[in-house]
Structures are given as structure tokens and as C-alpha cells.
Amino acid sequence: MGFPNQLKAVIIDDDDFSCFHLQDAIKHKVSNVEVIATFNSAEEAIGKLALLKPDVVFLDVEMPGGMSGFDMLKKLPAINFEIIFTTSHEHYAIRAIRFSAIDYLLKPVNIPDLQEAISRVYEKKSQDTDLSLWQMEVVTQAKTKIENLAIPTMEGLIFIGLQDIVYCEGDDRYTKIYLQDKKMIVSSRTLGSFEELLDAHGFFRIHKSHLINLNHMKKYLRGEGGQVIMTDGTTLDVARRKKDDLLKLVSQF
């Protein structure tokens, strides 16, 4: 076995060479990490992760011909390991990293990038914070329009459709997400994080405290900044400096 603080790693990649290259790089270039299993398919891995209890999973973004890595993650009852995405598709990177993925590695894996990714895993574990739970949804649909969102909460990860979100309310370092079924979810991500992710998907920040789903905007009331009435009946103030941009967006929507 290894050191007391040794990380247990699992590699999931449909390409044999990529699996071998990454496993060899970890063995010879990274300290205190043991690869305990490799899988060439998500189907093969899904039933084994709970038993293996890895600390970190290196997950290929796309595995043609079967279940994708992200489909696999959605089927897991719990995600209690860190995820480091690996892919040949560079266009996945920006949104994944911006929405707090622990890391992203472009294949063939660069050794310094790999070492830095592992260092971040150790840093996060030393801070006694929960392992990342929210990365995969952003990257799953980064190529196209996001339809579902993985919401990190204190209890774990909740998947909701964007069409179900009426508006989001910033509360210091947390965000309250109000849904059309009158439920409210408290996320451990900031409102700014959600704005960055959703502003290109029909959402607009009308005020420092509120990010609304334009599809759920029922009415605009004139005023200095004005107000919006949402489909759930909530009335929200619009900041004066946001008024013109909102009206321009609505006219195009």
C-alpha cells in the first residue's frame, strides 16, 4: 500500500492508450497516488465505484458507443469523490473550470498539469471541504444549450431543469433558487457563479441580489428601474442601471 494520505484513483476512459498513458504518468510522476482500477466503459465502472471508494476519478468526457461519463454520474446515488475531467476536446474547458470543476486535463495529459490537478485535490481535502459534486452538468452540455443544471447544496447534488427555475436570489455566499413548483433550494454557490453560467441561456441579473429566468417573467412595471412580476407572483425590483439592458433583451426574446 502507500502512504497514510495516499489518494486512491480510478481511471475511466474508453481508449486503452489513454488509460495506460495516464496510469503510467501517475505511477512515475505523481507522489502519493495509487491507481486502484481502470475501466474502458461507464457501464463497467458504474457498479464498482461504491465498492472501490476512490478519492478521485479521472473521467473521460466522451465515450462513444455507450453510456457517457456524465450519464454515469447522473445514475450514481452519491458522488463522494473528486472528478478530474479528461478529454481531447478543448472546447469543454472554460465552462467546466469556471463552474468550479477541480480540474480539467486535455489529452494527451501534460505532466505539470496532472501534478497541479492532484495538488488541488490534496489542498481541498486538507481544508475539510466536501468533495466537488457539481462539475459534470456544465461540461455535459457545454457544446450546446444547457438544459439541466447540477445544483450543489449542503446535502449533496440536486439536478433540476432550467425551465423549472423562476429566479435566483443571492444571500452572501449562498444562492436561493426558487422553482415553479414553489420549492426553494439553497445552493452553496454564489449568485455570480450562476450568472456566469446562465446569462447566455435566458437568464438576466436585474439587480445585485436577483437573477431571473426571462421565460418566467410575466410582466414589467415601469418606474425608475421598474419591477418585474414573475410567473410565481413574486415582484422583484430592477436596478436602474439594468433597466435598458433588460428591456432590450425582452424585446428580442
Intra-chain end-to-end CA distance of the chain, in Å: 59
Each domain of the chain, given as residue ranges in start order, spans 7-140, 148-252
Spelled out in words, what is the top-level CATH class assigned to the domain 148-252? Answer: mainly beta
Q: How confident is the model at residue 72 (pLDDT cuts 50, 70, 90)?
A: confident
pLDDT band at 99 (very low <50, low <70, confident <90, very high): very low
3-state secondary structure of 137: helix
Residue 3 is predicted with a pLDDT of 46
Rounded to 5 degrees, φ, ψ at 13 are: -160, 135
Question: What does pTM read for this prediction?
Answer: 0.55
The pLDDT score that the predictor gives to residue 102 is: 55
CB atoms within 10 A of CB 7: 23
pLDDT tens across 8-38, in order? 999 999 999 999 999 999 999 998 999 999 9
Q: In this structure, which amino acid lies at residue 108?
A: P
Q: Which residues does 21 contact at the CB level (< 8 Å), separation at least 6?
A: 108, 109
- Cα–Cα distance for residue pair 27/117, rounded to 1 Å: 15
pLDDT tens per residue, range 153-190: 776 667 788 899 999 999 988 999 999 999 999 988 88
Region 47-59 average pLDDT: 92
Q: Which CATH class for the 7-140 domain?
A: alpha beta
